[in-house]
Structure 1
Amino acid sequence: MSAVSEQAPANRLRKNSLGVGAITFMVISAAAPLTAVAGGTPLGMLMGNGAGFAGTYLIVTVLLLLFAVGYVAMSRHVGNAGAFYAYAARGLGGFAGGATAIIAILSYNAMQIGVMGLLGAATAGLFAGWGIDLPWWVWSFIAVAIVAVLGYRQVDLSAKILTVLVLCEYIVVLVLDLAILKTGGDSGLSAAPFSWSQIVSGSPAIAILFCFAAFIGFEATTIYAEEARDPKVTIPRATYFSVLLIGVFYMVTAWLMAVGAGVDKLLPALQALQDPTTFLFGLSDRYAGTMLSHAMGILFVSSLFAGVLAFHNAVARYIYVSGREKLLPEAIGVTHSVHQSPHVASVIQSVLAAIVIGLFAILGLDPVLALFSWLTNVATLGVIVMMAVASLAVVMYFRANPSTQENTLKTTIVPGLAVVCVKFCKMGDHETGHAAWRRASFLCSR
């Protein structure tokens, strides 16, 4: 396990199948934009720093751009679907790489399966309103089956489906954004949400954790390096586009949500709601009409589905690479003869998801309070750890390979700063953040 091996010609993922747009939408899908805006943003405002949440999104976007600098610099020298694992192995050695691979598999599995619980609960609620009353786990199993088929086939099929779903999510939220912008909101447009006094008000540490969690998935651009067209150009562009598109979208929407309610009226309005996750739908009713709210309700479910499909693709590629690199049995690290997909790894992930969902269903545990809350907390922590490890690996790799044509700012100074920043996010009010996520999960289940 001393180094990352190169891919055997007879066992490769489908090359030249994904462009910048496809990869960008694949990773944005994992971030589930509508889910973050409808669920995470009002909860982050309520339990974090109120109107200052928009300014917090700006800060977190800058921090993740710092991380991306070293991350994409490394991608030009390490084109491997193992991403975090491959970076850790090249920069810190085989032992660190193996440990990172295990964390990656556990983290993305936990995220995908956890979101399956929320997807099942949300879908059950949606269809119950239409007279179809089925248990949450039935819908989760249906989602597992659909995702299993898509994950088994060519990756560009998943990319096309995710592109459509994500575009629909952006459209409905942008319609609301424009409606609020046109009317000037409750008391006129205001830059107050970006003021330092608003950002540091309340519990900014909780706000940072909520903002950070809303981005999870963007870092997966590099796992598609072996399937990208001209990966040395495509992967860096997709990474920067993902961070900027997600960050600007979240920041502007959070600002307009605060303006729509009124900066001074925002927290009282959220506190008055039995379920703060209905806040966005209330704004939609007020500024854009009930038809848009109904569309948002449907797209909330499709947003969750897009997320689980994107995370499934990430998990399958980590498992596949772990088999190819002999961290797991070699029989796992093979690709389909026709689709050139990591089909064995895909099947393993699907079976594991079905087993966990079945276990939670048999034990009668809540799909949101238990399945979603427990597993996504574990996943978020794991991704933060991997980002810190990757940033450190970038510094060590370029120190050991001074002949590479990369400047010191990209390979040492900025990645080193990213390590410090990510470490701060990991340490920032961990217990309070954990409690916030548990309450968020509870509110989402109502």
Structure 2
Amino acid sequence: MSVSLPANSSTELRRGTLGVGFIIFFVISAASPLSVIAGGFPIGIMLGNGAGTPALLIATLLVLLAFSVGYTTMARYVTNAGGFYAFCSRGLGGTAGGAAGVLAMFAYNILQVGLYGMFGGVVAGTMSAVFGIDQPWWVYSLLAMVSIAVLGYRKIDLSAKLLSFVVIAEYLAILVLDLAIIHSGGDSGVNFDSFEPRNIGSGTPSIGLLFCFAAFIGFEATTIYGEEAKDPKRTIPIATYASVLLIGVFYTLSVWAIVVGVGSDKIVPTLQALQDPTTLLYGLSDHYVGPQLTQVIRVLFMVSIYAGLLAFHNAAARYFFAIARDGLLPRQLGTTHRVHQSPHMGSALQSLIAAVVVMIFAAMGADPILQLFAWFSSLATLCVILLMAMTSAAVLMYFRRQPELRLGWLRRCLLPGFAMLALLGVLSVAVLHFDVLTGASRGLSYTLCAVIPAALLGGALLARRLRRKHPQRFDALGSHKL
């Protein structure tokens, strides 16, 4: 029995819309560079290995570049808005693909909802301190949600144009501060103490490594825009490598400049002495440039979180769309708007989920940053690391079954295998130290972790149900491509 689709819907995304530049802007926005530099790394430096954090960033960059080799190679043969879901379906089979799809859908939704907590908390604090306007954090979260819903419903290039201005402004502001610190010589002269073994191994490097991996979350989203890209077989690999290199080099330079600015032997004590470690960047900006740049960074901090909200909203909506189009979710979610060719139903559902969760946390009187954001973003980080490991395994199996492609051993086997083992190692460390990432009790932290196997099981059951009812559709999971 066929199911009729709404009159204003289709099942195709808007083709040939996004070039390399716009996809890079989406990905970098998802990584929220300014919010990571200002909000994430000060805590990571304090809890991790202190001045040695830049060296861990380079190690993280190398692992993610190794992952990207297999990832982009397979993207030449699997062009699908489902990203991880499509790759796992074609490489590991439909059941594993269904599991990966639901996990990815869950991960990007909770990450986006968590960001609403950070956005509301940061904006409420800024409005109170600067303008004397006192409103609950959730008011600002809901206002952002309305505008995100409108942008997600409309054409993708509208969101891309908005994000491009935001990303450029973020990078310029932080680079001005980086150059000012380096030009002045910092606290005790420009040095490379961050890369000395004594600093790399100081403190707790494993926790520092987790913060480094969490900072890159979002770079992997290039493939979900494959169906909307211009010449996706060329655009997606270029965008992926460019994104991970831009993010990695920018983070390494900026964190190193922060260490130089404060002093390698003073960075941890300075952070520990601050009531709020995330204000470190403001102090550095005041000292090395002036209050004018600090005010710009304060505003861009809020805008950076908003850009991340928009980028992850688009990612979550496309996972709803791709999975539903293949039959794992109701077909209405797998439709696109006939005019805008956006996954409008997935976008609307994502906004509804975000509104419900935000209001629940508001009714509970929960802290928007220390609870809503910390819990959800940390859990999403675990999900994405596991998804990358599964995708590396999918790359290995996919090319093993297709020897006629005659790809080099490095691209089809060695680097994907190395990435899979490295990511599984990082995942193990992340689970062991998950209470540090969330700031919650050990019991609550492991309860949150238990949601991951539940999501995997739910996805596998959906795939098995499709296999019983529509075996041909099950065999074709993740194969919808250009």
Q: For 1:401 and 1:208, locate their aligned partners in 2 and report how far apart those are by CA, in whole Å.
A: 35
Deviations 1:294-350 (A, max 9, x none): 111111111110011100000000000111000001111001000000001100101
Q: For 1:104 and 1:36, locate their aligned partners in 2 and report how far apart those are by CA, in whole Å.
A: 22
Matches within 5 A, 1:42-121: 42-121=42-121
- Given that residues 81 and 225 in structure 1 are in contact (C-alpha distance below 8 angstroms), is that contact kept between their aligned partners in structure 2? yes
1:5 maps to: none
State yes or no: 1:291 paired with 2:292: yes
Which portions of structure 1, spanning 4 or more consecutive aligned residues, are displaced by more than 3 angstroms? none
- Given that residues 47 and 436 in structure 1 are in contact (C-alpha distance below 8 angstroms), is that contact kept between their aligned partners in structure 2? no
* Percentage of pairs with the same residue: 52
Across the aligned residues of Structure 1 and Structure 2, the Cα RMSD in angstroms comes to 1.2
1:389 maps to: 390
Q: For 2:321 and 2:430, locate their aligned partners in 1 and report how far apart those are by CA, in whole Å.
A: 35
- Given that residues 319 and 345 in structure 1 are in contact (C-alpha distance below 8 angstroms), is that contact kept between their aligned partners in structure 2? yes
Q: For 2:232 and 2:361, locate their aligned partners in 1 and report how far apart those are by CA, in whole Å.
A: 40
1:136 maps to: 137
- Given that residues 335 and 342 in structure 1 are in contact (C-alpha distance below 8 angstroms), is that contact kept between their aligned partners in structure 2? yes
Q: For 1:15 and 1:434, locate their aligned partners in 2 and report how far apart those are by CA, in whole Å.
A: 43
- Normalised TM-score (structure 2): 0.88
Residue 57 of structure 1 and its aligned partner are, at CA, apart by 0.7
Q: For 1:180 and 1:21, locate their aligned partners in 2 and report how far apart those are by CA, in whole Å.
A: 29
- Partner AA of 1:301 in structure 2: M
Matches within 5 A, 1:165-204: 165-204=166-205
- Given that residues 206 and 433 in structure 1 are in contact (C-alpha distance below 8 angstroms), is that contact kept between their aligned partners in structure 2? no
- Partner AA of 1:20 in structure 2: V
Matches within 5 A, 1:13-412: 13-128=13-128, 129-412=130-413
Q: For 1:51 and 1:436, locate their aligned partners in 2 and report how far apart those are by CA, in whole Å.
A: 19
Q: Equivalent residue of 2:327, what SS? A: coil
Residue 380 of structure 1 and its aligned partner are, at CA, apart by 0.8
Residue 264 of structure 1 and its aligned partner are, at CA, apart by 1.6
- Given that residues 374 and 439 in structure 2 are in contact (C-alpha distance below 8 angstroms), is that contact kept between their aligned partners in structure 1? yes
Deviations 1:171-224 (A, max 9, x none): 110000010111111111111101222111110000000000000000000000
- Given that residues 209 and 433 in structure 1 are in contact (C-alpha distance below 8 angstroms), is that contact kept between their aligned partners in structure 2? no
- Given that residues 54 and 255 in structure 2 are in contact (C-alpha distance below 8 angstroms), is that contact kept between their aligned partners in structure 1? yes
Q: For 1:144 and 1:179, locate their aligned partners in 2 and report how far apart those are by CA, in whole Å.
A: 36
- Given that residues 323 and 332 in structure 1 are in contact (C-alpha distance below 8 angstroms), is that contact kept between their aligned partners in structure 2? yes
Q: For 2:307 and 2:214, locate their aligned partners in 1 and report how far apart those are by CA, in whole Å.
A: 16
423-432 vs 25-34, greater mean Cα deviation = 423-432
Q: For 1:265 and 1:371, locate their aligned partners in 2 and report how far apart those are by CA, in whole Å.
A: 31
Q: For 1:47 and 1:29, locate their aligned partners in 2 and report how far apart those are by CA, in whole Å.
A: 25
Q: For 2:335 and 2:257, locate their aligned partners in 1 and report how far apart those are by CA, in whole Å.
A: 48
- Normalised TM-score (structure 1): 0.95
Deviations 1:123-179 (A, max 9, x none): 111111212211101101011101000000011111111111111111110000010
Q: For 2:223 and 2:84, locate their aligned partners in 1 and report how far apart those are by CA, in whole Å.
A: 8
Residue 10 of structure 1 and its aligned partner are, at CA, apart by 5.2
Q: For 2:433 and 2:280, locate their aligned partners in 1 and report how far apart those are by CA, in whole Å.
A: 23
274-283 vs 237-246, greater mean Cα deviation = 274-283
- Partner AA of 1:65 in structure 2: L
> Given the superposition, is the C-alpha separation of residues 429 and 17 from structure 1 closer, same or farther in structure 2, using an over 3 Å criterion?
closer
- Given that residues 63 and 422 in structure 2 are in contact (C-alpha distance below 8 angstroms), is that contact kept between their aligned partners in structure 1? yes
Q: For 1:40 and 1:437, locate their aligned partners in 2 and report how far apart those are by CA, in whole Å.
A: 12
Q: For 1:270 and 1:140, locate their aligned partners in 2 and report how far apart those are by CA, in whole Å.
A: 28
- Given that residues 73 and 406 in structure 1 are in contact (C-alpha distance below 8 angstroms), is that contact kept between their aligned partners in structure 2? no
Deviations 1:34-56 (A, max 9, x none): 01101111111111011100111
Q: For 1:406 and 1:220, locate their aligned partners in 2 and report how far apart those are by CA, in whole Å.
A: 24
> Given the superposition, is the C-alpha separation of residues 13 and 368 from structure 1 closer, same or farther in structure 2, using an over 3 Å criterion?
same
Q: For 1:198 and 1:147, locate their aligned partners in 2 and report how far apart those are by CA, in whole Å.
A: 42
